[in-house]
């Protein structure tokens, strides 16, 4: 009888060992496959890499670097803590976070991805919020910037500033809605009920005597973050090129096409563009805007979802930023998925109930 028991347990142990072996070797296998694809598709990868670098140099550096420097400099002043104390009576009951979270929310809306996440990590490291509060803030303080939505998406891609305004309004509404929903994230944890944690780290305040030193530190920190973002932009430009040339995106598009068709997205290009956008935001929104469709509301609604979700590239950027603060990426992923769904829903409502926002032919 004892031998029979051992034999019955053996397949379970073997399958568990096989699962652990696959899990342990999965990433090395993916990295090896990526290197092989770099060689096979070297010509198109080179062009994609150049495009990624141009996108980073022409758009991301000019728009994000000044904001990163400004937020770093502000963190050396008392403005942030004063703002926190002033807005605590609003932020605490509405979002379940300290008033200082208003700074992350405001800058996250104004400057775009991934500024909000960077500020949240700074607040957590300075002891100005708890781990639970930081994870709540991650869910709704990291957003697409108004410059990107109004100028790049609205005017450059769709050729209509009103479309950009609509996308910005629904983006912010969805962001605030996610914040309210995450009011209850780990709310039973007693540490999340503190107004201000007791373990604050006293940060050096800027004055005329140390301005040069702090300015240098702020610029170096900002440059480090922008270079990291540039690496992700180039990497995902190459990944998209490989996936397109190997027809993987078109295959995945065929898989999700029946689901999107149920919601009225009959053109297969919507499916492939959605897959591209879920990997890299700018590429996906650009493809969607180029799809000729009488019901342009379809293009706008799908763009609203991608602007809210952000894509895998931005998710990994945020993951690299929050890793040092020991924060979970789970709240961010759930929050951005909700953000995308709510932004698409709000956009649908605005288009159908406000004639000024109905652009269908």
DSSP 30-87: HHHHHHHHHHHTHHHHHHHHHHHHHHIIIIIHHHHHHHHHHHHHHTTSSHHHHHHHHH
Distance CA 86, CA 71 (A): 19
pLDDT at res. 7: 52
Distance CA 160, CA 22 (A): 49
186: Cα separation from own chain's centroid: 21
How many beta carbons lie within 10 A of that of residue 339, not counting itself? 28
Average pLDDT, the chain: 85
Query: Would you place residue 16 in the very low, low, confident or very high pLDDT band (cuts 50, 70, 90)?
Result: low
pLDDT at res. 333: 95
**DSSP symbol at 205:** P
Lowest mean pLDDT of 57-71, 77-91, 140-154, 197-211, name the range: 197-211
pLDDT, tens digit, 9 for 90 and up, residues 287-324: 999 998 878 899 999 999 999 999 999 999 999 989 88
pLDDT at res. 279: 92
In the predicted structure, residue 205 carries a pLDDT above the cut 80: no
How many beta carbons lie within 10 A of that of residue 159, not counting itself? 10
Q: What is the mean pLDDT of residues 132-139?
A: 93
pLDDT at res. 20: 61
Q: What is the mean pLDDT of residues 160-171?
A: 94
Distance CA 119, CA 141 (A): 9
In the predicted structure, residue 162 carries a pLDDT above the cut 60: yes
pLDDT at res. 134: 93
> What does the block give as tokens for 314?
């931005």
pLDDT at res. 272: 93
pLDDT at res. 194: 45
Query: Would you place residue 71 in the very low, low, confident or very high pLDDT band (cuts 50, 70, 90)?
Result: confident
pLDDT at res. 201: 54
In the predicted structure, residue 60 carries a pLDDT above the cut 90: no
In the predicted structure, residue 192 carries a pLDDT above the cut 50: no
pLDDT at res. 18: 61
Contact 344, 302 (CB under 8 A): yes
Query: Would you place residue 182 in the very low, low, confident or very high pLDDT band (cuts 50, 70, 90)?
Result: very high
In the predicted structure, residue 251 carries a pLDDT above the cut 70: yes
Query: Would you place residue 266 in the very low, low, confident or very high pLDDT band (cuts 50, 70, 90)?
Result: confident
pLDDT at res. 271: 93
Contacts of 19 (CB under 8 A, 6+ apart): none
């Amino acid at each position: 009888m004892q031998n029979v028991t051992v034999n019955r347990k053996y397949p379970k142990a073997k399958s568990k060992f096989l699962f652990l072996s696959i899990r342990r070797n999965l990433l090395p296998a993916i990295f090896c496959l990526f290197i092989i694809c770099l060689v096979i598709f070297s010509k198109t990868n080179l062009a994609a890499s150049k495009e990624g670098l141009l996108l980073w140099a022409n758009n991301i550096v000019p728009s994000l670097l000044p904001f990163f420097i400004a937020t770093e400099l502000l963190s050396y002043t008392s403005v942030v803590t004063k703002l926190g104390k002033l807005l605590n009576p609003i932020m605490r009951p509405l979002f379940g976070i300290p008033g200082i979270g208003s700074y992350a929310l405001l800058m996250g809306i104004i400057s775009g991805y991934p500024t909000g996440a960077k500020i949240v990590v700074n607040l957590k490291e300075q002891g100005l919020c708890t781990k639970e509060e930081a994870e709540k803030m991650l869910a709704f303080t990291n957003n697409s910037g108004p410059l990107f939505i109004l100028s790049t998406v609205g005017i450059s891609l769709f050729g209509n500033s009103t479309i950009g305004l609509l996308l910005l309004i629904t983006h912010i509404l969805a962001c605030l809605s996610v914040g309210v929903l995450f009011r209850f994230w780990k709310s039973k944890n007693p540490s999340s009920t503190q107004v201000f944690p007791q373990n604050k780290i006293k940060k050096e305040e800027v004055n005329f005597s140390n301005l040069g030193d702090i300015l240098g530190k702020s610029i170096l920190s900002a440059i480090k973050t922008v270079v990291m973002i540039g690496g992700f932009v180039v990497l995902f430009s190459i990944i998209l090129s490989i996936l397109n040339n190997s027809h993987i995106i078109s295959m995945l598009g065929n898989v999700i096409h029946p689901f999107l068709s149920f919601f009225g997205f009959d053109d297969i290009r919507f499916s492939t563009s959605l897959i591209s956008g879920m990997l890299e935001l700018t590429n996906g929104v650009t493809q969607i805007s180029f799809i000729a469709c009488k019901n342009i509301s379809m293009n706008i609604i799908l763009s609203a979802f991608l602007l809210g979700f952000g894509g895998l590239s931005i998710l990994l950027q945020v993951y690299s930023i929050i890793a040092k603060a020991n924060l979970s990426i789970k709240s961010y992923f759930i929050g951005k998925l909700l953000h995308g769904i709510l932004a698409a829903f709000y956009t649908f409502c605005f288009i159908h109930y406000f004639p000024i926002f109905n652009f269908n032919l």
